Amino acid sequence: MSLRINDIAPDFTAETTQGPISFHEWLGGSWGVLFSHPKDFKPVCTTELGQMAHLSQEFARRGVKLIGLSVDPVDRHALWAKDIAETQGAAPDFPMIGDPDLAVAKLYDMLPAAAGDSAEGRTAADNQTVRHVFIIGPDKKIKLMIAYPMTTGRNFDEILRVIDSLQLTAAHRVATPANWTRGQDVIIAGSVSDEEARRLYPDGWAAPKPYLRIVPQPGSVKR
């Protein structure tokens, strides 16, 4: 199946390093980040999982659950975690999905249906498209999808920045400009008329163009 932003994130059951889960039930009413890897014991992925382990409390402060996936069995994930701790200074404290039958990778359109039903014998190059990040909202809808090449490590500070924007714009009728970070000015959403905007922002706004209405960040997002 082909996935797009605002589609319901497909539900699934799977074995993880923290026991079996049903994905939607595990997610509950939280935001979630699902990020995937083509194979265990690979160098770029090792650094990524270590970075996510270091950042896990930042995600938790935003009410975001983390879950990883690698196209290998769970017992290999446990061995890999020891290497991650040794080389990166932290081991994943979030569940890692084992996907040896490629079911979740195919469900999320990271591998074609013709990829078969076993990870055995497949190399990281065979699974190179299993390098995605999905941000999923409390409504179980996909809010962001990014696919990465094998040679480029992911920037998880950017994922945190996007979550800040998504949570802010879900709570207020605003949009965030290029390179926005928490606390900076935002843009009044185009769906808000000037009449509504005057009620929402009685102190007014800056408008270098009529369609570009700039105001201070309203309220706050989870921290």
> Catalytic amino acids?
45, 139
Using CA of residue 73, residue 134, residue 126, residue 117, what is the dihedral sign? Answer: positive
Give the SS3 label for residue 48: helix
H-run or E-run covering 135: strand 132-136
Q: Three-state SS for 197? A: helix
Residue for token digits 């039903």?
Answer: 117
Burial of 28 by CB count in 10 Å (0-12 exposed, 13-18 middle, 19+ buried)? exposed
Count CB atoms within 10 A of the CB of residue 143: 21
For residue 128, is it left (φ>0), alpha (ψ between -120 and 50) or beta?
Answer: alpha
Query: Helix, strand or coil for residue 137?
Result: coil
